[in-house]
Structure 1
Amino acid sequence: MRTFDKDRLILGLAGPVLALVVAFLLTSVVLLSSGLSPFEPYEVMARQIEFVDVQVLILNQTGIYYLAALAVAIGFRMNLFNIGVDGQYRLAVMFAAVVGASVELPAPLHVLLIVLVAMLVGALWAGIAGVLKTTRGVSEVVSTIMLNAIATSLIAWLILPANLGVQPPGSNNTTTGDIPSSGWFPGVELEGGTIYGFTFIAFALGVVYWFMLNRTRFGFDLRATGASQTAAQASGVDAKRMVLTAMLISGALAGLSGMPMLLGQTHTYSLSFPVGVGFTAITIALLGRNSPIGIFFAALLISFLEKTAEGLGLAGYPKEIAIIMQGLIVIAVVVSYELVRQYGLRRQQEKVGEELAAQARKNKEGVAA
């Protein structure tokens, strides 16, 4: 039993480690072919960690990516590919910002209302894809991609001053109005900036995610349905209900992805709010292998690459190096995980063969005795 656990741990780490090594090597080749040093950019990026403001930026971005990646991971554990996290996140944060700016409540209730609105909108938007899949058999990949496009257009229309938007005097930017201070989530003040308070909520939700999947009946049903809907139905699990539930939970988590920045920094939504968070989260979930700990380190790595890229520009290197590395990580993750999976299958076959051979020898010795 110990050998099995050891092998499983090694195989679990082999995929992401191999992907990172390959990505770094390929990035070095790109730098070398461009006439640049293949090592100095990494040193420049590493030196950025010494600054407290960069540390704060990395940690805050990690919290945002962590929530979005958990949303993606819930789908992955159900064998669902929720590509719509980005649309769910942006639509949810916009409606949450509108509601937050339009009401006045005591501080805890105000924050709670904003968070609940974000979760509800995210869940409902993802639920559309869930309903289409369970009732009409529409692939969630197709429906969530289309819903992303619809969300983008819907937000652009709703945020117009004639609808839900507000245009501050003397500004060309359109926002949803400022949320009163009672709707702000307090953070940790440091010399280099403020760590969003909701960042710690994000990391705590990782523990909830682990507990739900591994210590509850619902988590077992979810994993069983993801492994085989036919087998799950044979054991009494309503597979369609689990698909819809997984999409709703995924959407709710996606809706929370915008809360660290909304409640901790901007206190309003505008068209300059970050986009592409959901797509980056797919990379993070894949690299972290849907594990809450793995996702944390993957989110930390991607955030590090993004927030230290500014230092590359100051050192005379193109900031796009970080983007190239992220793209190579995506490719390397897919290839390395398939290689590790094939190796794992061969290893299991070898172990079964060894056990059968050992049992045959014991039977032969018993007959001879």
Structure 2
Amino acid sequence: MKKFDKERLLLAVAGPVIALVAAMVLTSVVLVASGKSPVEPYSLMFQQATYSDVQVLIINEAGMYYLAALAVAVGFRMNLFNIGVDGQYRLAAMVTAVVGAHMSLPAGLQIPLLIVVAMLTGAFWAGIAGVLKTTRGVSEVVSTIMLNAIATSVIAYLTLDDKFGVPVGNNNTTGVMHESGWFPGIDMGDSGEIYGFVVVAALAGVLYWLILNRTRFGFDLRATGASQSAAAASGVNAKRMMLTAMLVSGAVAGLAGMPILLGDVHTYSLSFPTGLGFTGIGIALLGRNSPVGIALASLLWAFLVKASQALDYEGYDKEIAVIMQGLIVIAVVVSYEGVRRWGLRRQQQRVGEELAAAARAAGDENNGNNDSVKEVAAR
């Protein structure tokens, strides 16, 4: 492997590794300050991860995190900060649940229909922010935050008893979806069932990489995110790319709730998971918008969530994992900036070395030419 390639690999790995180490050290400091062991919680969590049933829970959770983080990463690649993933996936899950409860088709048609409904709903909700950004210059950060709140109100309204709501005890649901829309899972025996939609999430990661790195659209997306003026000079419509990026981001966000909706609960209710969109931001940052990096970060996040639940039984607060997650996000931002500056200095140093080497080579050549001239003159 060339020296340059080794440095690129080092730069890619250094950021997340430094962030994880820093987060663990700072979490240990918090534990010591509270009079707790700084080592035992980690030992207990790693022990939990060896149990097959916990492993199934981690994989299922990671599948949802992965899709949410991919949605965020699409926006990041375009230099857009789509904070609205949370509202987009919740609204998409609710609409999909309503369609699944009121429409019954053969499984070969029902499941694709529900997936399309989820993607269209998420894209529509994200598209509102995209239109405001491209036509009125409204910051996507502000608009998507407001759309999250609006989505919550829309969901509450549509799940009323006289709309699409079906009361079940103290909870309002959208009714159980027809079985033809249930996504088959992977039976792991006594350990539980892995959501079959996890496979779809993995395929979405592959498709994300292919589109981003092997298509004209992916090149235009990255180019516009890097420099709108340079992209415009090459013939790329920056505003159209912004809108398209928001639509794609929203479509992927719409899938984030599908693993649990189609694979487990089969209805939307007040107990449906929330916060996936904000979790996806941290995971996308940690994974550096790379499909493989996001996958590893999703598994780490899911591990912290699921393995930490056993801490309550050992006298530790499970919120330790939440503290660690927050510290990871802070450490990621700091470490990536430090690594970026170090990489920039190394690049400048390398260019300087190459220029110096070229100058020396030119000087040696000139000296050789001068010697030849002197020899001819002497003859």
Band of TM-score, shorter chain: over 0.9
2:248 paired residue number: 249
AA at the equivalent of 1:289:
R
Aligned equivalent of 2:218: 219
Equivalent runs, 1:196-215 vs 2, <5 Å: 196-215=195-214
Structure 1 runs of 4+ with >4 Å offset: none
Q: Equivalences for 1:44-59 in 2 at 5 Å?
A: 44-59=44-59
Paired with 2:4 and 2:290, the residues of 1 have a C-alpha distance of 19
Deviations along 1:204-257, whole A, 9 cap, x unmatched? Answer: 110000000001111111111111111111101111111101100000000000
2:377 alignment partner in structure 1: none
Q: Deviations over 1:279-311 (max 9, x none)?
A: 000000000000000000000000000001111
Give how far 1:2 is off. 2.8
Shift of 1:193: 0.7
Does 1:61 pair with 2:61? yes
The CA deviation at 1:119 is: 0.3
Shift of 1:327: 0.5
Which residue in 2 is equivalent to 1:176? Answer: 174
- Following TM superposition, by how much is the alpha carbon of 1:104 offset from its aligned partner in structure 2, in angstroms? 1.0
Taking only the aligned residue pairs, the percentage that are identical comes to 68
Secondary structure of the equivalent of 2:74?
helix
Deviation at 1:345, TM superposition (A): 0.8
- Tell which structure's C-alpha radius of gyration is larger: 2
Kindly provide the amino acid, as one letter, of the partner of residue 142 in structure 1.
Answer: V
Distance in 1 separating the partners of 2:4 and 2:245: 30
CA–CA distance in 1 between the matches of 2:352 and 2:72?
37
Distance in 2 between residues matched to 1:5 and 1:193, nearest whole Å? 43
Q: Distance in 2 between matches of 1:296 and 1:50?
A: 19
Aligned to 2:76: 76
Match of 1:262 in 2: 261
Secondary structure at 1:11 match in 2: helix
> What pairs with 1:220-235 in structure 2 (closer than 5 Å)?
220-235=219-234
Cα distance in 2 for partners of 1:66, 1:270 equals 22
SS at match of 2:316: coil
Partner of 1:115: 115
Structure 2: 5+ residue stretches without partners: 369-379
Q: Distance in 1 between matches of 2:5 and 2:74?
A: 24
Secondary structure of 1:154's aligned partner: helix
Matches within 5 A, 1:47-196: 47-168=47-168, 171-190=169-188, 191-196=190-195
1:348 is aligned to: 347
Equivalent-residue separation in structure 1 for 2:228 and 2:3 (angstroms) = 30
**Residue of structure 2 in register with 1:240 after alignment:** 239
Shift of 1:86: 0.3
Aligned residues: 367
Equivalent-residue separation in structure 2 for 1:252 and 1:3 (angstroms): 40
1:7 and 2:7 equivalent? yes
- What secondary structure sits across from 1:174 in the alignment? strand
Distance 2:78 2:2 in 1: 28
Superposition RMSD in Å:
0.9
Provide the secondary structure at the position in 2 that maps to 1:50.
coil
Question: Structure 2: how far apart are the matches of 1:7 and 1:309?
Answer: 35
CA distance in structure 2 between the aligned counterparts of 1:279 and 1:213, rounded to whole angstroms: 23
Q: CA deviation at 1:155?
A: 0.8
Q: Distance in 1 between matches of 2:333 and 2:26?
A: 15
Deviates more, 1:235-244 or 1:290-299: 235-244
Unaligned runs of 5+ in 1: none
Distance 2:366 2:236 in 1: 47
1:368 is displaced (CA, Å) by 1.1
